Structure 1
């Protein structure tokens, strides 16, 4: 099994019309604090075990990074942990920020 790619447009539609997916952001703490998708959680080596333990395996998980590259490896790793519906956000947070500035929050 593998992860799937997800466009910003599709994620935007999901956020507007259905229960929110688990959005995990793998960027560094300062970048996350400066801006992130509302409702997302920063995932790093110290929080990943808790996320895996606390999130149902059938949850929809969307992985966000800077430009949509590193998130692909993280998404594949999550599939390997037993998650069945994992997506990598194409274009990453940078593309999201440009397309949907009104759907960007800072900490």
Structure 2
């Protein structure tokens, strides 16, 4: 195919085209994951700068962190956020969330 992308001044934007081959047999394709996989593959149109590079965080996860305990004053903020997002959710999502919450062990 021949495509031409133009910027706001009608100047051509350089484009590289390729086919995103999907090898997954799942009914629902996660295009974000597939695009990331493609960008890491160094193919013709890949953009490695858009591929997520995972840092080695093993040393961060090996010890107890200040993030492991929630300071008491932030509980109010957490509750406010939960209520905010709950109000925004559709009824089905609210129902699923409540079912999940009931199954959680008490803290």
Band of TM-score, shorter chain: under 0.3
The higher radius of gyration belongs to 2
Higher strand share: 1
TM-score by length of 1: 0.20
Q: Higher relative contact order by CA 8 Å / sep ≥ 6: 1 or 2?
A: 1
